[in-house]
Each structure stands twice: as C-alpha cells, then as structure tokens.
Amino acid sequence: MKQFNLPAGLDKKGKTLEIYLLDGELRADYKGERISFWHLPEHIIKVFRREMNTMQFIVKKYDLDKIENDNEKLEAYVAATYGIIFNNTPDWDEDNGTHPEITDLDAAKFYGISYREYEVLKLISNGATDQDIAARLNISPFTVQNHRHNILSKTGCKNAADLTRFAITKNITV
C-alpha cells in the first residue's frame, strides 16, 4: 500500500482511523494507508459490529434489518454512520472508541421526541439534576421538568432510572 500524509486529527500509529466511501467501496485511512474496511484488524471491526447492535434507530432508519448477510448489513451500517463526511475528526480512536457522524436530530426524530427533549435526555442519562440541565441549556428548571414529563410520556419510562436505562440501551449519552 502507498503511504500518504493524513489530515490533521489523524495519525499513522494505528490509534485512529477515518472511514469513507470511495467509488462505492467502504474504505479506511489507517496506519498511514488507505485500505478496504474489511482489511482493518478484527478487533476494530468487532467494535463497529457491537455498536450496530446498540444503534437500532440507524438500523431501522436505513432498513438495514432487511439485509440478511451480517457482513453486508455491517458494511451498510458503517457507510451510513461513518462514511458520510470526511471531517478531520477520527471515526474511531483507540482511547475514546467510535465517533458516529449521525446527528442528534436524526436520533430525536426516530425516538419521537423533540431535539430539546433529546438534549435533556442525554443530560439526565449522565446524572444531571434539573438545575444542572437548566443552567447548561439556558432554560428554567420548570421547563426542564416539562421536558422530563414529556420524555417520560413519549418513551413509556416511569422515572429517571428508567430514562437512564433507556438512554444507555439506545446509546444516547453525552
């Protein structure tokens, strides 16, 4: 493979990678080389496979559950989630894991909550109090309580613990 200079934010030491589509093929910049996604080390591919199993809103949004072949489904998931933009931010790094290029707005729409409710849910799942959330989002604690009530109603959760469980199982975190 031909060596090349990686953009800022990526390195040649194998600690980061960027994924993109090139001529219809899923490719990765990894260790200073441009390679097929399937030539990545198996432990990295497993990370994406595990993530796909937790990000069901993406699987449903792109009808990936209709793809029977597991490798084809994974490739479609990774292309939809990581192959969208080349933004000089690694899609994966050894220290912090994956960095999907989906938007919070996409996730909020899928779960049937507003974008602001989605922001509140992320903070609730991180253990923030109503006062913390209000200060962070520059809204009143009363508005936070209204958002919390709406989220509980829309998700079928009964309390903050249920919301946290819901957020964690759906990979909705700060």
Instruction: Provide mean pLDDT across the span 16-36.
Output: 83
Domains of the chain: 16-100 (no CATH), 105-169 (1.10.10.10)
pLDDT (0 to 100) of residue 85: 54
pLDDT digits (tens, 9 = 90+) for 117-160: 988 998 988 889 999 999 999 999 999 999 999 999 988 889 98
36, exposed or middle or buried, with CB in 10 Å at 0-12, 13-18, 19+?
exposed
Q: Is the pLDDT of residue 39 over 90?
A: yes
Going by pLDDT thresholds of 50, 70 and 90, the confidence category of residue 103 is: low
Q: CA nearest 119: which of 99, 139, 97, 96?
A: 139
Asked if 30 and 14 touch (Cβ cutoff 8 Å), the reply is: yes
Per-residue pLDDT at 78 exceeds 90:
no
* Interatomic CA distance for residues 13 and 162, integer angstroms: 41
What torsion do the CA atoms of 12, 15, 18, 19 make, to the nearest 10 degrees? 120
> How high is the pLDDT of residue 7?
45
